[in-house]
Amino acid sequence: MADALHQPLQPKNGQENEPFAIRSYTPQQLKDALRKMYLIRRFEEGAEDSYMRGLIHGTMHLSIGQEASAVGACMALTDNDKITSTHRGHGHCVAKGADVSKMFAEFFGKESGYCKGRGGSMHIADVEKGNLGANGIVGGGLPIAVGAALSAKRLKTGAVTVCFFGDGANNEGAFHEALNMAAIWKLPVVFVCENNQYGMSTSTERSTAVTSIADRALAYAMPGSTVDGNDFSAVAEAVDTAVSRARDGQGPSLIESMTYRWRGHSKSDRNRYRTKDEISVWMKRDPIGRMAKLLRDHKIMSEDDIAALETEVEAEIAEAIKKARSGPDPLVSDATKYVYADAAA
């Protein structure tokens, strides 16, 4: 679906006051976007459930509550475009077009997973679809995204790179170095900061000198904006504008997408740093509920259509988990395969 979205539609007469998404996308594109948001939510729930059942080794970082940010940001991208992702990267991977069964297979450590069971949740990637990978290092993907944009500019591929990172990464040196280089070289990259308010337990208020992370764009002479990250249309609009600018050779932008993770930082989080009230306030701003309402209000989907979509997605996730579980395990004798291109090295 994303391929058709390269050029947003021109608003029809009388639509000027409608949300960007309604003005710009076809009903089918909007239905597909809602479907992806559901798919991410059910994927995360399926992953959590699998973890509880002991099917997943290690830890993981769930993005429940942040679905509009991932799907909205990827609307302007084609398979030729790249993303770099974060430790909370399942949603980005789905939004960029990954097969959820291959994702589950990776989480289950299977040879049939995206990384052949070598990476797991924290390194999930789908290079063919342009996802250069989640990253276990906060800020690790920022310079890499700038490098991908440098390749696009030099090799004239036309690709834009969307660099996802969290509020925590904005205090890493890599953030500042990456934004500066992207700006001086006018590279086609869009920095999307998913500000979910906490870097593990430390709030942005306690960790970050500026009130708005978007203000940091000023230091690197690029446009900066803050959007409601739980509003699909607002995210899509901001990223669309930034992607167009990047494609036109005008350089990078910084977008701060204000959102919230419903779950803890990782599986070890006891939520000691935030209140139940705060969590429930944010759960009322559910990005999926808001998107569903948008589509209902605009008669794009009925209540029944949405219920049917949910059922379909649930079945897809159940099937994906089943298929993933039956995949082959890697051979222990291949434990060090893929360290080098030449296995003998």
Partner 1 sequence: MTGEAHTDSSLRQLSYAEAIREAMDIALAADERVILMGEDIGVYGGAFQVTGDLVHKYGEDRVMDTPISELGGAGVAVGAAMTGLRPVFEFQFSDFAALAMEQIVNQAAKVRFMLGGAASVPVVMRFPAGSGTGAAAQHSQSLEAWFGHVPGLKVVQPSTPEDAKGLLLAAIEDPDPVMIFEHKILYKMKGTVPDGHYTTPIGTAAVRRSGADLTIVATSLMVHKALEAAATLADEAVDAEVIDLRTVRPMDRDTVLASVRKTGRLLCVYEGVKTLGVGAEVSAMVAESDAFDFLDAPIVRLGGAESPIPYNPELEKAVVPQVPDILNAARQLAGGTV
Half-sphere exposure of 278 (CA within 13 A, CB side): 15
Q: Helix, strand or coil for residue 1?
A: coil
- Nearest residue (CB) to partner 1, 71 versus 152: 152
In the complex, the smallest distance separating the C-beta of residue 171 from partner 1, rounded to whole angstroms, is 14
Cβ contacts of residue 309 below 8 Å, gap of 6+? 31, 34, 35, 38, 301
Residues that bind partner 1 (CB under 8 A): 82, 84, 113-119, 123, 125, 127-128, 132-133, 135-137, 140, 142-152, 154-155, 157, 173-174, 176-178, 180-181, 184, 336-342, 345
Backbone angles phi, psi at 194, to 5 degrees: -85, 95
CA distance 178 to 186: 12
Based on CB atoms, which residue is closest to partner 1, 125 or 217?
125
Nearer residue to partner 1 within complex by CB, 125 or 213: 125
Q: How far is the CB of 312 from partner 1 (least distance, A)?
A: 29
CB of 118 to partner 1, least distance (A): 5
C-beta separation of 1 from 32 below 8 A: yes
Q: By C-beta, is 12 or 331 nearer to partner 1?
A: 331
CB of 333 to partner 1, least distance (A): 16
Distance, in Å, from the CA atom of 150 to the CA atom of 166, rounded to the nearest integer, reads 22
**What secondary structure, in 3-state letters, does 205-262 show?**
HHHCCCCCHHHHHHHHCCCEEEEECCCHHHHHHHHHHHHHHHHCCCCCEEEEEECCCC
SS3 category, 100? helix
By beta-carbon proximity to partner 1, the closer residue of 65 and 141 is: 141
Smallest distance from partner 1 to CB 342, Å: 8
Nearer to partner 1, 27 or 58 (CB): 58
- We find the least distance from the C-beta atom of residue 43 to partner 1, in angstroms, to be 20
